[in-house]
Amino acid sequence: MQQVDNETPKKKFDFKQIISKMGTVIALLILVLVVTIANPGFLQPDNLLNLLRQTSINAIIAFGMTFVILTGGIDLSVGSILAFTGAVTASTIGSGTPAWLAILFGLLLGALFGCLNGFIIAYGKAAAFIATLATMTIFRGATYVFTDGNPISSNALNNSFLFQYVGRGYLFGIPFPIIIMVVAFLIWFVVLNKTAFGRKTYALGGNERAAFVAGVNTNKTTILIYTISGLMASLAGMILTSRLSSAQPDAGTSYEMDAIAAVVLGGTSLAGGKGRITGTLVGALIIGTLNNGMNLLGISSFYQQIVKGVVILIAVLLDRKKNKA
Amino acid sequence: MKVELKNISKSFGENHVLEGVDLTVEPGEVHSLVGENGAGKSTLMNIFTGLLKSDGGEILVDGKAVHYSGPLDAEQHGISFIHQEMNNFAEMSVVDNMFLSKELRTKFGLMDQKTMIKQANHYLGELGSNIDVLAPIGSLTVGNQQMIEIAKSLMTNAKVIIMDEPTAALTGNEIKQLFEVVNKLRAKGVSFIYISHRMEEIFKIADRVTVMRDGVSVATYKVADVAMKQLVHDMVGRDIGSFYPDRNPKIGKVALEAKHLKENGVFDDINFEVHDGEILGFSGLMGAGRTEIMRAIFGIDKLTSGEILLDGKKVSIHTPEQAIRHNIGFLTEDRKDEGLILEDSIYNNIALPSIEGFKKHGLIDDKTIDDFVKMLMKRLTVKAMGADVSAGSLSGGNQQKVVLAKWVGSGARVLILDEPTRGVDVGAKREIYELMNELTDRNVAIIMISSDLPEVLSMSDRIAVVYEGRITGVVDAKGATQDMVMTLATGGTVNATSR
């Protein structure tokens, strides 16, 4: 009888393993180094806080997207949910509703839209890509109808301390959106790694049939996951609307792409079942650093897009190679 | 064509997979290759077919040493490998699959569909098959798909055809057909290397058999001169006593009772009961409805009508989640698609059905799960480098033990096992049987679906036989014979029906 090797879970120090596990972190550090050499001003605390604040909206959306992509799905509707819930909250505050209630309403609406996505995908057996492509268009259209195509701003919006605080406030000298991002990260980290729901998320992405047979309520889990994505999109919508002090009908356009890029840069497999939310945070920081760094270096926004695309492509190709080895 | 593999060796890093293997195949011979999973059969065949390069030894074809540059080169030498998992494009037609990347063209460079159809029909006709070559390949039975694989081998003018577990998914009739074709081709001088875990088949079809163990060819016998016991001994390296362990069941009260179960068009009026500590075998031909009955009981498929009673109380089960809550476990026939999350760790696979039970203040307790998983791995003798390796990296037998571990861990009191030893090597088979005994000793009720008649007869206490969606008889396993079960399985009647 062969010995079951249960006693050696602690592995020896393995350099290769660390490189492959920390790949995205190393990429981020290299990026920071390059930008710093080109412009030492990058490391100024003000700039770093600015970078983090710019990153927060994408990161928050990407946290929700991580759950979705872990199941092998995709959520293209996040940008539209962001716009619609931002507009509804802005208009609700404008009509005199207390800001906390309006924000809560906006978040619930986002969760509801996400829930709808999940419902269509779970019970309609629709491909996530097509289902959320459709709802993306619907929600965007609804935003234009609701706003009549005009930005929503009002004195009530400008005068609400709470609402202004969401996107523009500081806590202990740290911009509040960063606090929201960190808290959201911690919550979703725990949910993904420490709850039964988290395990089911991975199981669903790894093999939906096997998960079902093992007693996972796959429909319920799917719906919950898209609900989280919708909720996070509307949370990002609150921050953006607050920062701009107005709701733009075209807000959040193509934000889904940045969120997907952050998740994929973070090493989560588009096929589902594999990935980490920590990676998503790093991925979002890479995108944030790229944007911020290139702005500092005065690179035209036209070129910025090309660079961003190339970086994502390299990251994905490196990841493929790593998985093959 | 005579081929000789001489003193073949191969290492992956420090892992010596093959250490001097010899194999000679005569023209027109069916040579069976047997051995436990991990004995090195696949590696040997991969070297033989040019997928891998050997570290030492030589391959002689008709006495001349050959060196392949790759699989295509081996194919040109007349060697063809029919893999267990056929790589077909289900939506494409038979003829398109057959000529994939070898398409014939007209002088204008367009596809010459007419000639391709003619040739496809010709090769299939040679096998005595009249498959519609324009049908999508996915719509055909596994048996017919295998015929197409053989036809493809003939297209490349194969002189040696390697078949890896060709009958794993075939029905009795299809196996018969396959053997007819093998015999037809062998008469024309085509040789076969036939890899199988099913002993009876080897004795039926092969001329000689070579046993491999731990990377060495242990012995080669004429099939006519060797007993099954000897082969098993050679494979495992020791006597494993009688192949099936003794059963001393202590049968208790009724655990699960099915009453008038019906699923429209699939099965009807299914009545049976299984007791605490009992193994109830389910026999029948493939497609008779055995698996479907169990899937409906477990809540994967929908019952049209009927009642399920657990401990005498009526229960309603519409999803696996509910079945698990009622302490039913289901080891599915399809391990890869339904039994395991192959890319996920052993740890997560075992814990998944029980995960809700590990919650403490809403969070799961990793330490407790860790102990739980390790305890189960030990108890079920899962051989792995650790709990964190992926389930897909294990051998078939160990994968099956992981699936069993997850249901044992979920506290299943009624355990449904669908083909529990399919694709599992001899040593692990025996261990699975012993586990079944251990479980029934602990009062677990087991329902075992199996197409392996000796297994059903040896391991069951009673046997229910299904034919065309109905139970045609429930017989006591003591005194039951293969003939009796086969008679019931093909719609006949016997007298010895019990209960």
Indicate the pairing of strand B79-82 with strand B160-164: parallel
CB contact under 8 A, A209 and B337: yes
CB contact under 8 A, B384 and A206: no
DSSP A172-226: TTEEHHHHHHHHHHHHHHHHHHHSHHHHHHHHHHH-HHHHHHTT--HHHHHHHHH
Minimal Cβ distance to B321: which of A194, A215, A274: A215
Q: Is the pLDDT reported for residue A6 higher than 80?
A: no
Rg (CA), chain B: 24
* Residue A308, helix vs strand vs coil: helix
A16 vs A64: which has the higher pLDDT: A64
Copy the structure tokens of residue B156.
Answer: 């490349």
Total domains in chain A come to: 1
A263 part of a folded domain: yes
Strand partners, B448: B281, B417
A36 part of a folded domain: no
Task: Return the amino acid letter for A44.
Answer: Q
DSSP state of B13: T
Q: Order across the sheet with B254-263: list the strands.
A: B267-275, B254-263, B305-310, B313-315
What pLDDT sits at residue B261? 93
End-to-end CA distance of chain B: 57
pLDDT tens digits along A167-186: 888 999 899 999 999 999 99
Minimal Cβ distance to A217: which of B319, B342, B343: B319
CB contact under 8 A, B377 and A4: yes
Q: CB-based contact (8 Å) between B72 and chain A?
A: no
A59 part of a folded domain: yes
pLDDT tens digits along A99-125: 899 999 999 999 999 999 999 999 999
Q: Please give the share of chain B, as a percent, with pLDDT higher than 90.
A: 47
Q: Is the pLDDT reported for residue A228 higher than 90?
A: yes
Q: Is the pLDDT reported for residue B285 higher than 50?
A: yes
End-to-end CA distance of chain A: 31
A40 part of a folded domain: no
What pLDDT sits at residue A19? 62
Chain A residue with CA closest to B324: the answer is A215
Name the residue range of residue A232's domain: 51-324
**What value, to the nearest 5°, has the Cα angle with vertex A144 and ends A138 and A150?**
165
Task: Return the amino acid letter for B411.
Answer: G
Copy the structure tokens of residue B142.
Answer: 């596994």
CB contact under 8 A, A206 and B363: no
Q: Are B224 and B168 in contact (CB under 8 A)?
A: no
Strand partners, B331: B417
Q: What is the mean pLDDT of residues B247-255?
A: 91
What pLDDT sits at residue A1? 37
The pLDDT-based confidence of A2 (bands split at 50, 70, 90) is very low
* Residue B260, helix vs strand vs coil: strand
Q: Give the separation between CA B278 and CA B443, rounded to whole angstroms.
A: 8
Q: Give the separation between CA A192 and CA A276, rounded to whole angstroms.
A: 9
Q: Is A244 exposed, middle or buried (0-12, 13-18, 19+ CB in 10 A)?
A: middle
Minimal Cβ distance to A196: which of B321, B342, B355: B355
Q: Give the separation between CA B18 and CA A93, rounded to whole angstroms.
A: 75
A2 vs B366: which has the higher pLDDT: B366
Q: Is the pLDDT reported for residue A278 higher than 90?
A: yes
pLDDT tens digits along B34-55: 987 778 888 899 999 988 899 9
Q: Angle of helix A23-38 relative to helix A301-324, nearest 10 degrees? A: 150
A69 part of a folded domain: yes
Q: Are B282 and B448 in contact (CB under 8 A)?
A: yes
pLDDT tens digits along B397-448: 889 899 999 999 998 999 999 999 887 877 888 889 999 999 999 999 999 9
Q: CB-based contact (8 Å) between B363 and chain A?
A: yes
The pLDDT-based confidence of B340 (bands split at 50, 70, 90) is very high
What pLDDT sits at residue A89? 94
Q: Which of B344, B400, B425 to mutate to test the interface with A (most CBs of A within 10 A)?
A: B344
Q: What is the mean pLDDT of chain B?
A: 88
Chain A residue with CA closest to B371: the answer is A6
A22 part of a folded domain: no
CATH number of the domain bearing residue A258: 1.10.3470
Q: Order across the sheet with B15-25: list the strands.
A: B15-25, B3-12, B56-61, B64-66
pLDDT tens digits along A286-319: 999 999 999 988 888 889 889 888 988 887 777 6
A50 vs B16: which has the higher pLDDT: A50
Q: CB-based contact (8 Å) between B236 and chain A?
A: no
Chain B residues touching A213 at Cβ < 8 A: 298, 300, 320, 330, 332, 338-339
DSSP B21-33: EEEEE-TT-EEEE
Chain A residues touching B366 at Cβ < 8 A: 194
Q: Are B61 and B6 in contact (CB under 8 A)?
A: no
A2 part of a folded domain: no
**ipTM > 0.90 for the complex:** no
pLDDT tens digits along B96-149: 999 988 888 888 888 889 999 999 999 998 888 889 999 999 888 888 888 898
Rg (CA), chain A: 21
Q: Is the pLDDT reported for residue A80 higher than 80?
A: yes
Q: Are B469 and B288 in contact (CB under 8 A)?
A: yes
Copy the structure tokens of residue B238.
Answer: 């020791």
Chain B residues touching A195 at Cβ < 8 A: 359, 362-364
Q: Is A303 exposed, middle or buried (0-12, 13-18, 19+ CB in 10 A)?
A: exposed
* Residue B275, helix vs strand vs coil: strand
Q: Which domains does chain B have, with CATH numbers?
A: 3-236 (3.40.50.300), 254-489 (3.40.50.300)
The pLDDT-based confidence of A13 (bands split at 50, 70, 90) is low
